[in-house]
Amino acid sequence: GFLGDDRRPLVEILDEDDAAVRRLGVTHAAIAARMRALRAAGAAGLGNAVAVPPHFDVTVDSFRGRLRCPFGDDVAPKTNITVVNRALGREIVYSDLAIHLIAAHGFYNGRGAPYRLEPADLVAVLAVPAAEPAAED
């Protein structure tokens, strides 16, 4: 299910998403950090939307159980995090497992997968800040 109907080898999926993230001027870590921060802000609502400045509404729905990482290295609680960006009129839904997959593996699921997250959508809707330029030695 994580690959959807994507027939490309896993390494090609990872490489393409990594290249997309680099073109956007961010990192997988920055995307995951923003996802975590919005999740933390929305958790206080206990399933109800929480207004998060400057223009987000965040709802965290938790379910019983846990989901195992397909790479076999972690287990995440079952959650759906819905972030509405009122300034853009757009929303995105992700899970704790998605945060882990992006942070640890740079994996956004394959094309056609039900939980596929496009890096460009995440960056835009979540307003992920640009990466700091690397210091030159």
pTM above 0.75, yes or no: yes
Read out DSSP for 3-15? STT--S-HHHHHH
Q: How far apart are CA 69 and CA 72, in angstroms?
A: 5
Q: What are the Cα distances from residue 117, in Å, to 15, 43, 60, 102?
A: 15, 21, 17, 10
Pair 11, 114: CB distance under 8 Å: no
> What is the phi-psi region of residue 48: left when phi exceeds 0, alpha when psi lies from -120 to 50, beta otherwise?
beta
Condensed to tens digits (0 to 9), the pLDDT of residues 48-79 reads: 999 999 999 999 998 988 999 989 888 899 99
